[in-house]
Amino acid sequence: MARHMLFIVLFVLAGGSLAFPQNQYDLLIQGGRIIDGTSAGWYVGDVGVRGDSIVYVGPSRPVQARVTIDAAGLAVTPGLIDTHSHGRRGILNNPMAENQIRQGVTTIIEGPDGSSPLPLAPFLKQIAGARSTVNFGSMVGQGSIREQVIGLKDRKATAAELEKMKTLARDAMLDGAFGLSTGLFYVPGNFSPTEEVVEIAKVVGRMGGIHTSHMRNESANILDSVRETIRIGEEGGLPTQVTHHKIIGKNNWGMSVETLRLVEEARVRGVDVTLDQYPYTASSTGLSALFPQWSRESGNAAFRERANAPEQRARILAEVGNNLREDRGGGDPKNVVLASCGFDKSLAGKNLAEVTAAKGREVTIENAALTALELQLRGNCSAIYHAINEEDLERIMRYPGTMIASDGGIPMFGEDVPHPRNYGTFARVLGRYVRERKVLTLEEAVRRMTSLPAGRFRIMDRGILRPGMKADIAIFDPAVVADKSEFAKPHQYAVGFRHVVVNGQLVMRDEKLTGVRSGRVLYGPAKK
């Protein structure tokens, strides 16, 4: 009762009236546990929707509605926001995005890791035409900008080239990008001096954008990489984010204590830096991640030449072996599992030790490095790397500035053996880390998935259940919600989400997709 009285007082102070309107709602969500996204404690109440917007949030009361959802015993939250998505990999072929909807995700932000389409406007127009179930926004990739101006060369940009890169960044922001993503681990982003990135970040910062970074290194040199990410934000004058933060390699486990200390010290001195993560102890990226960046300069033909030159081949194999021993390989070739290989579908799901043994070789680090090189020469595979520690994961999750993001795409159901994060990220946090391990409270976990990312990316009309906000809403059972996707059997949808609303339309009702595709393209702060 006290909670309801407080709501009424605040409502009146904000200019509301106690004479509640009896106008019919298009959608009424009745009697649910309202978790509004702010981390405030839940309370039982209703959410009323008219058109694409929320018009009422508060105590239950008699009212007419075209459609009523009985949410008794269920959590009613803002739609979840995935700010590190590779959704462009599948959204045009799979616009229903069922793997996201069944986790309550209603908005995805694409263009991470320094990679995005250029120019951005035609791509976003294509996405709008696809009419997906989820809202879709994009970053602009610094690596893509650099490749367009310089190619895959390992050299500094000239003054004229830097101006071209800044212009491309400015154009992308005007097209609707939410900010600049960097993939300083990847080619060609890895070839960029920090100063070059800062200059581009300044352009994006002046236009209201954010910077997110797949850092140069997430293992032995991770502290320098965190410092660089902070520096880009500090000198670039924009919010900066360590994306999919993790500690790779057994010898480095525990370093999250220091990375979080660096983040907190930066915040104390006024740098706007935050984090995101996915809740798994394995990462996923191309098999090329095992290879030194210098070996991949100028593309595949140049890589092939180096791999066939005896001295350079020996250097490549030595560095791949070191990465298997100390870095993503976690000290054992079986920790590297192939997710997909376009040239041989039968390899999906096999680990590097198995593939090495199948070639008649003893399973050693050196022989596994040779196997990896042979695979890379046939065409890149994607792989899953088991080299992360649960204690680091939970420590990072507890940090108040950490939001949840999948680093997943929109896979075709049943195809290849992708990382479970594609299907289970948000449900896994709510089930394993909230209900079972109690790392976060339910209200705090919802904040990490809704208002925190919305505020960071300046998606100002979503992320909180409040009148006037767009009606993106997730409704789930906190006692049931769970991820079902497993590394060996990833193509399994999450459970526990009953209903999902996107822009006022039910895209899932009673755990069944309705066929409605009401998602929209969302645009960043500088859109013309």
pLDDT tens-digit readout, 93-133: 999 999 999 999 999 999 999 999 999 999 999 999 999 99
Give the number of other CB atoms < 10 A from CB of residue 113.
26
d(CA 494, CA 486): 11
Mean pLDDT of 280-286: 98
Torsion of CA 402, 403, 404, 409, to 10 degrees: -110
Q: Note the pLDDT of residue 316.
A: 97
Does residue 17 surpass a pLDDT of 70? no
Does residue 6 surpass a pLDDT of 50? no
Nearest by Cα to 54 from 473, 449, 514: 473
d(CA 504, CA 80): 15
pLDDT bracket for residue 19 (50, 70, 90): very low
DSSP 318-330: HHHHHHHHHSTTT
Mean pLDDT of 89-93: 92
Give the rounded percent of residues in the chain with a pLDDT score beyond 70: 96
Give the number of other CB atoms < 10 A from CB of residue 45.
24
pLDDT bracket for residue 197 (50, 70, 90): very high
Give residue for tokens 């602009």. 140
3-state secondary structure 364-418: CHHHHHHHHHHHHHHCCEEEEECCECHHHHHHHHHCCCEEECCCCCCCCCCCCCC
Contacts of 323 (CB under 8 A, 6+ apart): 289, 290, 291, 329
Q: Note the pLDDT of residue 22.
A: 52
Q: Note the pLDDT of residue 23.
A: 56
CA 423 to the chain's CA centroid: 12
327 neighbors 387 (Cβ within 8 angstroms): yes
Does residue 452 surpass a pLDDT of 70? yes
- Assigned architecture for domain 80-284+387-513: Alpha-Beta Barrel (3.20)
Give the rounded percent of residues in the chain with a pLDDT score beyond 90: 95
d(CA 135, CA 189): 28
Q: Which part of the chain is CATH 3.20.20.140?
A: 80-284+387-513
Mean pLDDT of 424-436: 98
Does residue 1 surpass a pLDDT of 80? no
What does pTM read for this prediction? Answer: 0.94
d(CA 148, CA 166): 12
**pLDDT tens-digit readout, 352-387:** 999 999 999 999 999 999 999 999 999 989 999 999
Surface-to-core class of residue 193, CB atoms within 10 Å of its CB (0-12 exposed, 13-18 middle, 19+ buried)? exposed
Query: 187 is written with which tokens?
Result: 């080619």
Nearest by Cα to 105 from 403, 318, 338: 403
pLDDT bracket for residue 10 (50, 70, 90): very low
47 neighbors 57 (Cβ within 8 angstroms): yes
Lowest mean pLDDT among 1-5, 34-38, 59-63, 101-105: 1-5
Mean pLDDT of 39-65: 96
Q: What is the DSSP letter of 157?
A: P
Q: Note the pLDDT of residue 380.
A: 84
Q: Note the pLDDT of residue 324.
A: 97
Give residue for tokens 């070996």. 295
Q: What are phi and psi of 340, to 5 degrees?
A: -165, 145
Q: What are phi and psi of 18, to 5 degrees?
A: -75, -10
Pairing of strands 283-286, 381-385: antiparallel
Does residue 63 surpass a pLDDT of 90? yes
First to last CA, the chain: 47
Q: Note the pLDDT of residue 7.
A: 44
Q: Is the peptide bond before 467 cis (omega within 30 degrees of 0)?
A: no
d(CA 130, CA 82): 19
Q: Note the pLDDT of residue 13.
A: 42
Does residue 36 surpass a pLDDT of 80? yes
Provide the residue count of the chain.
528
Work out the angle between the directed axes of helices 142-150 and 194-206 (0-180°, nearest 10). Answer: 120
d(CA 333, CA 499): 42
CA 294 to the chain's CA centroid: 28
Higher pLDDT, residue 325 or 2: 325
**pLDDT tens-digit readout, 214-256:** 999 999 999 999 999 999 999 999 999 999 999 999 999 999 9
Give residue for tokens 């976690």. 330
d(CA 82, CA 100): 9
Nearest by Cα to 334 from 288, 296, 365: 365
pLDDT bracket for residue 89 (50, 70, 90): confident
Does residue 135 surpass a pLDDT of 80? yes
420 neighbors 385 (Cβ within 8 angstroms): no
Q: Note the pLDDT of residue 144.
A: 98
Q: Note the pLDDT of residue 5.
A: 44
Nearest by Cα to 516 from 107, 81, 138, 101: 101
296 neighbors 187 (Cβ within 8 angstroms): yes
Query: 57 is written with which tokens?
Result: 């949030």
Q: What is the DSSP letter of 106?
A: E
Q: What is the DSSP letter of 158?
A: P
Surface-to-core class of residue 206, CB atoms within 10 Å of its CB (0-12 exposed, 13-18 middle, 19+ buried)? middle
